[in-house]
């Protein structure tokens, strides 16, 4: 008997009729001879409504009470899905994070899962029941409810699947799977049959919102295969699986327009300047993405450019300007009119020329590259925002991703 | 240091602003030198909204999933109240039924609390915190969440107060306390300073909605004094306390219009007939209130009349008609146009003539008494529904309850 872990997101259980649909799907998978563990998110906007309530009380929520409050959306959806399965003639039981024994770190809000006690789940499965488990939440050593951050239900599902030794972790969502690029940007985008964990990790970090990066990381560590599928359509979706099974030179093109650029010109070339600037940004919890530094040899001056997301832009600019005041002759320029286009591919490391092909694809379209950043399996270019769609199209076609 | 247990009902925490008010009240009580344990109900209509969702899925909810679902309203209000206290500069911690260790029977829905583990509560109190505990819910021996029935938060508060050896259990609600009769029916109704548990039990059972009868019963068993007060006004409220401290001949007049009457005429006077009828009603979970039987000596026939609440009326009538078909010459008559008026008083047993005074008060108003039922501390009369208000007024004045 195959053990399947399925995860349904907030939009998949966003209304009673949708929960009934999910129940039908789950029962069909059981009838096909599988043991079923189902992990659910809160119904649609429930978590946001709860957060709005606590924000009416305080700007700085108590971390413990925040978790106690926002975790209840999952309790609701789990109980309703279990009830829907029972109403359709199945056997099911809803289990919360504390009932299962999903142990997390002691801290609150964005904490990590340490381990999962599988005894209660296995007991329910042996009794022929479908175990419906709340995503997003766990229990710390003090006996208090914790949550593991937004998008955490993906991670819950992968961790539970790993602890149970499940054969596959199916993530049901509101898209058909992972595409070579965002199909809303480029109609030629092709659904990928398979992609490696590493590539998916880069795609997720680069703005492909299908799956939470932590869930992919966790699947990679545990060698867990994830299947991303549409929750209310049939279709094979995309398998996120171990590298080596499929080796794409380039798997996809990621587009991200939530990018703003800050340039510091003529920074004195004295050791510790970069550390001071980025230390200050880190202390302000501003996540810096691409960083490029170039040296004016003759003048002993540096130019430093970096990107942040739009939400952090104003704060980052202000902080950078404050720092620049102390550095003689230094000038700051900000620009929110930029975007990031990236290619991702596990085969890239062993296939020279990918960068050159990407740059020439952009060059053909006369798209100016403002910054470049590379890793072993991805290349990102910062370009003008209005060029993003053309850039994606040109690169997608260069690597024949529509074929 | 005095240990106070306070309970706030659904209307008292029905909105964020109201929760902030409650937080202020709780902090004031702590500042006055008390240790505080607060028990809360769900915010306003939350529980009803959850029940409506599960009813969309099924007419017969799974008892376990029903409890898992409907208990979360209290999780929400407890976390929000704890957060509100913290936001006002206090120290608080929300605790669920399972976190405290409120152990109940194994069955679901209307189960009884077996005991309360006070260790976690005492630990939080020692740390200077206000413990905010979810009412209505507990945990059974299987590790599943249970609920203890509507109005159960009153009972939770009394049980927790008793387990902790609290000095008093304050129940905050949307009325000023316990009145001699319903002030909406009779403006002369007077707020009682004190009433015995037994009297309150009769008042509660007779339709005075201030307090859940089970909570009063539980307080009586544990010698726990309850103070009923208005949640957003100052005022001494009403003390529900041990008999003997105050001895009222008649404490109050209770009016109940949720009454329907069923009469069986000419029942053959054969042993076991009543047992058969009321056994069948009990098996159908129909709660029978007043029962009156009279014998037609010459004909060896009985007339049996009884009352049920309006919700059960149709089912009770159908069942009675089925039974009557088997009893030769028997006729069934139903009437929903009735109401019950009662007087309650712990001193009644030792003060003869109370019944006579009640009947003459009704007689003066030419109100016909259809049925009479008495206990040691109460007398109830079934009358025509449209006479209820006049009946209350006349009896209230007869016993000088407005003085």
Inside any domain, residue A347: no
**Residue B22: is its pLDDT beyond 90?**
yes
Q: Please, which pLDDT band fits residue A203 given cuts at 50, 70 and 90?
A: confident
- pLDDT, position A245: 47
Please answer whether residues B162 and B197 qualify as being in contact, where contact means their C-beta atoms are separated by less than 8 angstroms: no
Of B61, B83, B120, the CB nearest to A54: B83
User: Does the interface predicted TM-score (ipTM) exceed 0.90?
Assistant: no
Instruction: List the structure tokens of A248.
Output: 């794409």
Cα A19 to chain centroid, rounded: 24
**Residue A85: is its pLDDT beyond 70?**
yes
- Average of per-residue pLDDT across A312-337: 91
Chain A residues with CB-CB distance to B54 below 8 A = 79-80, 83
User: A24: burial class by Cβ within 10 Å (0-12, 13-18, 19+)?
Assistant: middle
Degrees to nearest 5, angle at CA A101 with A97 and A107: 70
- Give the 3-state secondary structure of A174-239: CCCCCECCCCCCCCCCCECCEEEHHHHHHHHHCCCCCCCHHHHHHHHHCCCCEEEEECCCCCCCEE
Q: By mean pLDDT, which of A176-185, A203-212, A221-230, A315-324 is the weakest?
A: A203-212
**Residue B375: is its pLDDT beyond 70?**
yes
Question: Going by C-beta distance under 8 Å and a sequence separation of 6 or more, which residues neighbour residue B147?
Answer: B66, B67, B70, B71, B108, B109, B110, B111, B136, B137, B138
Inside any domain, residue A164: yes
Alpha helices in B5-145 (DSSP H): 16-31, 46-57, 63-70, 72-87, 97-100, 119-126
Inside any domain, residue A136: yes
Contact between chains at B76 and A86 (C-beta distance less than 8 A) = no
Please answer whether residues B134 and B75 qualify as being in contact, where contact means their C-beta atoms are separated by less than 8 angstroms: yes
Q: pTM (2 decimals)?
A: 0.79
Q: Which domain holds residue B59?
A: 2-174
The C-alpha atoms of residue A172 and residue A9 are separated, in whole angstroms, by: 7
Inside any domain, residue B61: yes
CB distance from A292 to chain B under 8 Å? no
- Average of per-residue pLDDT across B187-200: 88
Degrees to nearest 5, angle at CA A64 with A63 and A70: 85
Residues B392-403: pLDDT tens digits? Answer: 999 999 998 888
Inside any domain, residue A126: yes
Instruction: List the structure tokens of A36.
Output: 């079923």
Of A64, A72, A120, the CB nearest to B72: A72
Put simply, the chain A residues between 19 and 58 with a CB less than 8 A from any chain B CB are 19-20, 50, 53-54, 56-58
Inside any domain, residue A232: no
Q: Please, which pLDDT band fits residue B245 given cuts at 50, 70 and 90?
A: very low
Inside any domain, residue A117: yes
Degrees to nearest 5, angle at CA B309 with B148 and B66: 30
Inside any domain, residue B326: no
In the three-class reduction of DSSP (H, G, I as helix; E, B as strand; rest coil), residue A374 is classed as strand
For chain B, give percent helix, strand, coil, nearest 5.
Answer: 40, 30, 35
Q: Please, which pLDDT band fits residue A209 given cuts at 50, 70 and 90?
A: low
Interface test with A, best of B56, B75, B90, B139 (most A CBs within 10 A): B56
Diameter of chain B by CA atoms?
Answer: 79
Q: Strand pairing partners for B194?
A: B239
Q: Which of the pair, B16 or A207, is modelled with greater confidence?
A: B16
Instruction: Count other C-beta atoms under 10 Å from residue A88's C-beta.
Output: 15
Of A50, A80, A98, the CB nearest to B69: A80
Please answer whether residues A135 and A37 qualify as being in contact, where contact means their C-beta atoms are separated by less than 8 angstroms: no
Contact between chains at B56 and A16 (C-beta distance less than 8 A) = yes
Q: Strand pairing partners for B331?
A: B265
End-to-end CA distance of chain A, in Å?
37
Residues B42-75: pLDDT tens digits? Answer: 999 999 999 999 999 999 999 999 999 999 999 9
**Residue B224: is its pLDDT beyond 70?**
yes
Contact between chains at A53 and B16 (C-beta distance less than 8 A) = yes
Residues A91-143: pLDDT tens digits? Answer: 999 999 999 999 999 989 888 899 999 999 999 999 999 999 999 999 999 99
Please answer whether residues A203 and A181 qualify as being in contact, where contact means their C-beta atoms are separated by less than 8 angstroms: no
CATH number, residue B54: 3.40.1160.10
Chain B residues with CB-CB distance to A65 below 8 A = 79-80, 82-83, 86, 92-94
Q: Which residue of A has its CA nearest to B50?
A: A76
Provide the domain count of chain A. Answer: 1
Instruction: List the structure tokens of A274.
Output: 């970069």
């Amino acid at each position: 008997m195959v053990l399947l872990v399925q995860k349904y997101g907030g939009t998949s259980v966003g209304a009673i009729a949708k929960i009934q649909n999910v129940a039908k799907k789950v029962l069909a998978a059981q009838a096909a001879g599988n043991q079923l563990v189902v992990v659910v998110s809160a119904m649609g906007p429930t978590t946001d409504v709860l957060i709005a309530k606590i924000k009416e009380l305080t700007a700085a929520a108590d971390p413990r009470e925040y978790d106690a409050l926002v975790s209840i959306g999952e309790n609701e959806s789990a109980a309703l899905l279990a009830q829907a399965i029972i109403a359709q003639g199945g056997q099911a039981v809803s289990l919360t994070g504390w009932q299962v024994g999903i142990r997390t770190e002691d801290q609150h809000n964005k904490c990590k899962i340490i381990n999962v006690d599988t005894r209660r789940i296995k007991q329910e499965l042996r009794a022929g029941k479908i175990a419906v488990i709340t995503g997003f939440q766990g229990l710390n050593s003090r006996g208090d409810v914790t949550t593991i951050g937004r998008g955490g239900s993906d991670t819950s599902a992968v961790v539970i699947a790993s602890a149970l030794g499940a054969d596959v972790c199916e993530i049901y969502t509101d898209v058909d799977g992972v595409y070579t690029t965002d199909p809303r940007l480029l109609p030629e985008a092709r659904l990928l049959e398979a992609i490696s964990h590493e590539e998916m990790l880069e795609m997720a970090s680069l703005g492909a919102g299908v799956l939470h990066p932590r869930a992919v990381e966790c699947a990679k560590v545990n060698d867990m295969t994830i299947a991303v599928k549409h929750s209310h359509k049939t279709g094979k979706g995309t398998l996120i699986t171990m590298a080596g099974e499929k080796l794409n030179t380039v798997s996809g093109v990621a587009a991200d327009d939530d990018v703003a650029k800050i340039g510091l010109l003529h920074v004195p070339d004295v050791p510790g300047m970069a550390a001071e600037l980025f230390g200050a940004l880190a202390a302000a919890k501003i996540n810096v993405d691409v960083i490029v530094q170039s040296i004016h040899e003759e003048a002993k001056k540096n130019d430093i450019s970096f990107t942040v997301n739009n939400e952090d832009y104003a704060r980052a600019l202000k902080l950078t300007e404050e720092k620049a005041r102390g550095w003689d002759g230094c000038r700051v320029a900000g620009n929110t009119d930029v975007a990031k286009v990236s290619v991702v591919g596990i085969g890239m490391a062993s296939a020279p020329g990918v960068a050159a092909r990407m740059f020439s694809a952009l060059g053909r379209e006369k798209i100016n590259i403002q910054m470049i950043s590379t890793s072993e399996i991805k290349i990102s270019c910062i370009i003008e925002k209005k060029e993003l769609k053309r850039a994606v199209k040109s690169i997608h076609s260069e690597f024949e991703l529509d074929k």
